[in-house]
C-alpha cells in the first residue's frame, strides 16, 4: 500500500511539472536567473563596471532592461534578428559572426521581464528629446550629421534600394529605431565611454540641437511609416496675428529684405544672390512646409543661399507662423 502511494506521488509530481510551464513552479525571477546563469553568463556580463570590449566576450547586458525595446529583445532571443556585428563582436579574435543561441518564447519572455525589472541603470534618465515633435527636415539634417560626424565610417545603415552602406567595425544601426529605447540612446550618445570604454568608440563634438537631429534620425531607422510631426498643422498656425508678424519682420527680416518686403534692405548690399523681393513672390502659392523649413532651418536646408539665416533658435513657433502670415498678407 505504502509503495503504491509513493509511486502515485512521484507520478503526479512528474505530470504536474510537464503540464505546468516551468516558470510557474520555479518562480519567474528564479527561472530567469537559472537561464541566465546557465546559458548566458559564459559570454555576457549582467553586473559590474563598463569594460573595454577587448576584455569581454559579448556586449554587456547590465543595462539591458533600459536599452532595448521589448519586442526587439524577444525577437533577438528567439533568433529572429540578424547579428549586429558584421565582423563578429570580438573582431580581434575571430572575424566571424556566429549564430546566437536561441530561447523558447516562454524563456525569452521570462528573461525579458527579468531584465526589465533588474537590469536597470540609474544614469539613464528620461530623454530630453520628444519624438512626437520630430520633423522630416530634422531627420534629413540628422542623416547629414550621421555622415558629417563619421558615424557611417563605423556603423552600417541601409542606403538607397536597401543596400548596406558604411563601415562594418561596430554594430549595424539600420534597424536602430526598433531596437533602442530613446532614453538609453540619448544617454549613450552623451558619452559612449560610460558604456563601452576603450573599445574604439567615438564621442562627437555636437550641440544639443544637432544631437536631437542625429539621435532622432537614428530612432527613425528601420521604423516603417514613422509619423513625422508637421509644425505647420499646429495650433500656432491656425491662430496667426499679422500685426505681430509685421513686428517680427521689422526686427529680423527687414535688415536684408527691406521695408515691406521690397528687397534691398541696408543689409542686402554685397549679398549675392540678393535677398528676394517678397512683394514679387506669390508666397500664398508656396507650400507651408517649404516656408516653415526655409525660415526655421535657413536657406541651405531648401537649397538656397546660406546668407538666409536659420531662425529656429531665435524665433518661437508662433513668431514664425505670424511672420509667414504677414508675408502672405502683402
Ligand atoms: C557563446 C556566447 C554567447 C552566449 C552563450 C549568449 N550570447 Fe548573447 N551575444 C553574444 C554575442 C557575441 C553577441 C553579439 C553578436 C552580434 O549581434 O553580432 C550577443 C548579442 C546579444 C544581445 C544583443 C546585445 C547588443 O546590445 O548588441 C542580447 C540582448 C543577447 N546577446 C542576449 C543573450 C542572452 C539573454 C543569452 C542567454 C540566454 C545570451 N545572449 C547568450 C554571445 C553570446
Ligand atoms: C571610429 C569608429 C566609430 C565611429 C566614428 C562611431 N562609432 Fe559608434 N561605436 C563604435 C564602437 C567601437 C562602439 C562600441 C560597441 C562595439 O564594441 O563595437 C560604438 C557604439 C555605438 C552605439 C551603441 C552600440 C550598442 O548597441 O551597444 C551606438 C548607438 C553608436 N555607436 C552610434 C554612433 C553614432 C551616432 C556615431 C556618430 C556620431 C558613431 N557611433 C560614431 C565605433 C564608432
Ligand atoms: C542676412 C540677410 C537675411 C535676413 C536677415 C533674412 N533673410 Fe530671407 N533671404 C536672404 C537671402 C540672401 C535670400 C535669397 C536666397 C536665395 O535666393 O538663395 C532670402 C530669401 C528668403 C525667402 C525666399 C525663398 C525663396 O524660395 O525664394 C523668404 C521667404 C525669406 N528669405 C524670408 C525671410 C524671413 C521671414 C526673414 C526674417 C525672419 C528673413 N528672410 C531674414 C537673406 C536674409
> Using one digit for the tens of pLDDT, what is the confidence trace for 226-236?
999 999 999 99
Site to substitute for ligand 3 among 244, 245, 250, 256, most atoms within 8 A of C-beta: 256
* Ligand positioned closest to the Cα atom of 247: 3
pLDDT at 5 over 80: no
CA-nearest residue for atom 36, ligand 3, is: 253
> Using one digit for the tens of pLDDT, what is the confidence trace for 82-127?
999 999 999 999 877 788 999 999 999 999 999 999 999 999 999 9
Residue 26: CB within 6 Å of ligand 1?
no
CATH architecture under which domain 20-118 falls = Orthogonal Bundle (1.10)
Residue 255: CB within 6 Å of ligand 3?
yes
In three-state secondary structure terms, 151 is helix
pLDDT at 1 over 60: no
Contact assessment for residue 275 and residue 285, using Cβ atoms and an 8 Å cutoff: no
Long-range contact set of residues 293-299: C-beta below 8 Å, sequence gap at least 24: 293/137, 295/320, 295/323, 295/324, 296/137, 296/231, 296/320, 297/137, 297/141
pLDDT at 24 over 80: no
Strands 157-158 and 164-165: antiparallel
Q: What is the pLDDT of residue 236?
A: 97
Percent of the chain with pLDDT over 70: 92
**Ligand 3 atom nearest to CA at 302:** 26
DSSP 196-228: STTSS-------HHHHHHHHHHHHHTT-TT---
**Cβ–Cβ contacts within 10 Å for residue 51, how many?**
14
- Superfamily of domain 131-220 in CATH is Cytochrome c-like domain (1.10.760.10)
Residue 233: CB within 6 Å of ligand 3?
no
Cα of 147 from ligand 3 centre, angstroms? 27
C-alpha to C-alpha distance for 297 and 245, rounded to whole angstroms:
18
> Using one digit for the tens of pLDDT, what is the confidence trace for 29-57?
999 999 999 999 999 999 999 999 999 99
Residue 294: CB within 6 Å of ligand 3?
yes
What is the DSSP-derived secondary structure letter of residue 98?
A: P
Cα of 316 from ligand 1 centre, angstroms? 46
C-alpha to C-alpha distance for 289 and 295, rounded to whole angstroms:
10
CA-nearest residue for atom 43, ligand 3, is: 308
Q: Which residues belong to CATH 1.10.760.10 in the chain?
A: 20-118, 131-220, 231-329
Where on the phi/psi map is residue 248: left (φ > 0), alpha (ψ -120 to 50), or beta?
alpha
Our CA dihedral for 108, 113, 117, 119, rounded to 10 degrees, sits at: 20
CA-nearest residue for atom 18, ligand 2, is: 170
Residue 330: CB within 6 Å of ligand 3?
no
* Closest listed residue to residue 89, CA positions, set 80, 99, 101, 97: 97
pLDDT at 13 over 60: no
> Using one digit for the tens of pLDDT, what is the confidence trace for 130-188?
999 999 999 999 999 999 999 999 999 999 899 999 999 999 999 999 999 999 999 99
C-alpha to C-alpha distance for 109 and 70, rounded to whole angstroms:
9
The count of C-alpha atoms lying within 13 angstroms of the C-alpha of 115, restricted to the half-sphere facing its C-beta, is 26
Cα of 44 from ligand 1 centre, angstroms? 7
Using CB atoms within 10 A of its CB, is residue 241 exposed (0-12), middle (13-18) or buried (19+)? middle
Contact assessment for residue 170 and residue 85, using Cβ atoms and an 8 Å cutoff: yes
Q: What is the mean pLDDT of the chain?
A: 92
Using CB atoms within 10 A of its CB, is residue 119 exposed (0-12), middle (13-18) or buried (19+)? buried
Residue 58: CB within 6 Å of ligand 1?
yes
CATH annotation of 231-329 = 1.10.760.10
Categorize the per-residue pLDDT at 16 as very low, low, confident or very high, splitting at 50, 70 and 90: low
Amino acid at each position: 500500500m505504502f509503495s503504491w502511494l509513493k509511486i502515485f506521488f512521484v507520478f503526479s509530481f512528474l505530470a504536474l511539472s510537464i503540464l505546468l510551464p516551468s516558470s510557474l513552479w520555479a518562480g519567474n525571477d528564479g527561472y530567469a536567473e537559472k537561464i541566465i546563469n546557465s546559458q548566458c553568463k559564459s559570454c555576457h556580463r549582467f553586473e559590474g563596471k563598463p569594460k573595454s570590449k577587448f576584455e569581454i566576450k559579448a556586449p554587456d547586458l547590465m543595462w539591458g532592461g533600459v536599452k532595448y525595446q521589448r519586442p526587439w529583445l524577444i525577437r533577438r532571443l528567439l533568433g529572429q534578428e540578424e547579428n549586429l556585428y558584421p565582423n563578429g563582436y570580438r573582431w580581434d579574435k575571430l572575424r566571424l559572426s556566429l549564430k546566437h543561441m536561441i530561447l523558447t518564447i516562454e524563456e525569452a519572455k521570462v528573461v525579458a521581464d527579468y531584465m526589465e525589472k533588474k537590469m536597470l541603470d540609474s544614469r539613464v534618465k528620461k530623454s530630453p528629446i520628444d519624438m512626437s515633435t520630430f520633423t522630416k527636415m530634422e531627420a534629413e539634417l540628422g542623416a547629414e550629421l550621421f555622415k558629417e560626424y563619421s558615424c557611417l565610417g563605423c556603423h552600417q545603415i541601409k542606403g538607397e534600394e536597401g543596400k548596406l552602406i558604411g563601415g562594418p567595425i561596430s554594430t549595424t544601426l539600420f534597424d536602430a529605431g526598433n531596437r533602442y529605447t530613446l532614453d538609453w540612446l540619448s544617454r549613450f550618445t552623451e558619452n559612449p565611454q560610460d558604456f563601452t570604454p576603450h573599445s574604439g568608440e567615438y564621442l562627437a563634438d555636437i550641440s544639443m540641437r544637432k544631437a536631437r537631429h542625429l539621435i532622432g534620425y537614428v530612432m527613425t531607422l528601420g521604423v516603417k511609416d514613422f509619423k513625422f510631426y508637421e509644425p505647420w498643422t499646429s495650433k500656432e498656425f491656425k491662430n496667426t496675428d499679422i500685426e505681430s508678424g509685421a513686428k517680427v519682420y521689422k526686427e529680423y527680416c527687414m535688415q536684408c529684405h527691406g521695408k515691406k518686403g521690397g528687397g534691398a534692405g541696408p543689409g542686402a548690399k554685397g549679398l549675392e544672390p540678393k535677398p528676394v523681393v517678397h512683394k514679387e513672390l506669390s508666397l500664398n502659392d508656396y507650400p507651408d512646409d517649404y516656408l516653415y523649413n526655409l525660415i526655421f532651418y535657413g536657406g541651405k536646408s531648401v537649397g538656397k543661399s546660406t546668407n538666409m539665416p536659420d531662425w529656429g533658435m531665435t524665433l518661437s513657433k508662433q513668431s514664425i507662423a505670424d511672420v509667414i502670415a504677414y508675408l502672405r498678407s502683402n
